Amino acid sequence: MSYFLGLDISTTGSKALLMDATGVVAGVAASPHTLQTPQPLWSEQDPREWWQAASACIRRMLADSGVSGADIAAVGLTGQMHGLVLLDAQGEVLRPAILWNDQRTQAQCDEIHRRIGRERFIQITGNVALTGFTAPKILWVKENEADLYARAARVLLPKDYVRYRLTGVCAMDKADGAGTVLLDLRARDWSDEVLTALEIPRAWMPPLYEGPEITSVLTPEAAAATGLLAGTPVMAGGGDQAAQAVGVGAVEPGVVALTVGTSGVVFATTPTALIEPQGRLHAFCHAVPGLWHFMGVMLSAAGSLQWYRDTLAPQMGFTELLEEATPIPAGSEGLQFLPYLTGERTPHPDPLARGAWVGLTLRHTRGHLTRALLEGVSFGLKDSFTLIQEAGLGEIRQVRASGGGTKGALWRQILASVLETELVTVNTTEGAAYGAALLAAVGAGHWSDVPTACATAIRITGSTDPDPAQVEAYARAYPLYRELYPTLRATFAAM
């Protein structure tokens, strides 16, 4: 039997996932990464540690599963997006990678908008320049580490450095490439206009491939390090969010992936390169050839519930907390919660935004507080859905939910009623690594295309429909929620 390997280079660790020819997960192994914060707002990792962790977890996964490296038909890659890896002409790492959550580059973001024009930049790349993205990190190195910048010869993203160590080839997929904000979104290729304006040599940027395309094959050296077979093809793969969408089957317009983890991500496949005019949504290429996607990001989704439990009810389990909230009527009898505990990204890119309960009375109990929190996070996610529909996506037929926040029936029901659409769960739980394995299988010819692979391997395991009475209550409460941030923005900034 042939197997397919999905390799996920995340912030916290590397994960190797083995999938058999029927789509069943046959083995998983992980190795942790360390994180460095040498100055306030900085977040860095050593790319060489990713390679050590990746090769270690591949060897462990093969040993634990009893599968030979010769039985692996193809490798797919995914990982954390936006991180800057700079190599010199000999392929050596020049400095620690500057990660997606690094916040040092606001001045460079402003400079990008000044050079190109904010509106023009949005129209080319589909996004505003944000501190998390790759392009402002390159400018920061130029302005602050000129000696290193002068030695630079290649720009890679985290998973693509591991690809380089596996194959000796520099390459990047178009989904992850779009997250550099150096891509012409409609052309699915590097933007000469942006590169020229930012004085970044095009020669630094690697060739771009669609997610299932073969980029290169394993070298003998990498085979010795991992236990895989030299000559094994390595597919382009995708950034973690695009691969996560493949892993749950959100690979066609109208099917949205909703991840309710510490943060919340709304991922909507689009048939063309749709752009939200103000750049309030991320617009990137999909890992599925010929498709694009919108993405809205909420910084504190299930993280809000985690903070609430840990801070105000540490003696209680989550199940017990949610049981108290279940009999509370939809709308929490006038109580609202703003989930901006760590600032916000979509639709309010405001690091100074803060959390709040608004509307407290003597009647409200802990159950009300809990339910209001669940509803507030759901309203915050609805903000992304609203922007996606206003930007031209059209009908949302189904939402495929994953992440710890969707495990409880109460929150699933609230989400379905707030979003006014069917909410389903699927049989896959390994997310991005599983999506990378599916992309590898498609590239190897095991399935004809990504939608066919997803239809074969992914099954719906549960469904929650909107409750008509709740829909009516939330239709009254949501406009009040939307008024709160504009009303309190100046107060948050003053605080």
Whether residue 212 sits in one domain with residue 150: yes
Catalytic (active-site) positions: 240
Residue 339 tokens read as 């989930």
Query: What is the mean pLDDT of the segment spanning 373-384?
Result: 97
Residue 125: which of 241, 296, 284 has the closest Cα?
284
Are residues 136 and 51 part of one domain?
Answer: yes
Residue 353 is assigned to a structural domain of this protein:
yes
Question: Residue ranges of the alpha helices (H) in 238-317?
Answer: 240-248, 302-312
* DSSP one-letter code for 92: -
Looking at the fold, whether 172 and 200 belong to one and the same domain comes out as yes
Domain annotation covers residue 242: no
Confidence of residue 342 (pLDDT cuts 50, 70, 90): confident
371, 327 Cβ separation under 8 angstroms: no
Q: How far apart are CA 291 and CA 175, in angstroms?
A: 10
Number of domains observed in the structure of the chain: 2
Mean of the pLDDT values across residues 463-472? 97
Find out whether 435 and 247 touch, Cβ atoms under 8 Å: yes
Percent of the chain whose predicted confidence (pLDDT) is above 90: 91
Residue 223's Cβ-side half-sphere holds a number of Cα atoms within 13 Å equal to 15
| One domain, residues 24 and 84 | yes
Residue range 24-36: mean pLDDT, rounded: 94
Give me the sign of the Cα torsion angle 374, 377, 383, 386.
negative
Rounded to two decimals, the pTM is: 0.92
Given a cut of 90, whether residue 101 has pLDDT beyond it is no
Residue 244 forms part of a structural domain: no
**Strand intervals (E) in 211-329:** 214-217, 233-235, 238-239, 255-260, 264-270, 282-285, 292-298
Same domain for 90 and 138? yes
State whether 260 and 162 are in the same domain.
Answer: no
- Look over the chain and give the mean of its residue pLDDT values, rounded to a whole number: 95
Amino acid residing at 427: N
Does some domain include residue 243?
no
Residues 210, 293, single domain; the answer is no
- Residues 6 or more apart from 8 whose CB is under 8 A from it? 14, 15, 17, 78, 79, 159, 240, 243, 431, 432, 433, 436
User: Residue 99 gets which letter from DSSP?
Assistant: P
Name 216's bridge partners.
Answer: 234
302 pLDDT higher than 80: yes
Q: pLDDT band for 293, please (50, 70, 90 cuts).
A: very high
β-pair type (282-285, 292-298):
antiparallel
Q: What residue has token string 């959100």? A: 250
Is residue 285 located within the same domain as residue 373?
yes
State the CATH number of the domain containing residue 442.
Answer: 3.30.420.40
Boundary of a domain, candidates 215, 236, 257: 236
Domain boundary among 174, 203, 236: 236
Residue 168 falls inside a structural domain:
yes
Q: Which of 236, 258, 274 is the last residue of a domain?
A: 236
Which residue segment(s) compose the domain that 357 sits in?
A: 249-495
Residue 253 and residue 232 in one domain: no
Q: 245-279, pLDDT tens digit by residue?
A: 999 999 999 899 999 988 899 999 999 999 999 99
| 177-211 per-position pLDDT tens digit | 999 999 999 999 999 999 999 999 999 999 999 99
Q: Are residues 163 and 265 in the same domain?
A: no
Q: What CA–CA distance (Å, rounded) separates 153 from 3?
A: 36
**Residue 180 gets which letter from DSSP?**
T
For residue 488, tell me if it sits in a domain.
yes
447 and 345 part of one domain:
yes
With respect to residue 405, please indicate whether it lies within any of the assigned structural domains. yes
**Which DSSP category does 449 fall into?**
S
Q: Are residues 156 and 255 in the same domain?
A: no
Residue 355 lies in a domain: yes
pLDDT at 307 over 90: yes
CA atoms within 13 Å, Cβ hemisphere of 103 = 7
pLDDT of residue 166: 98
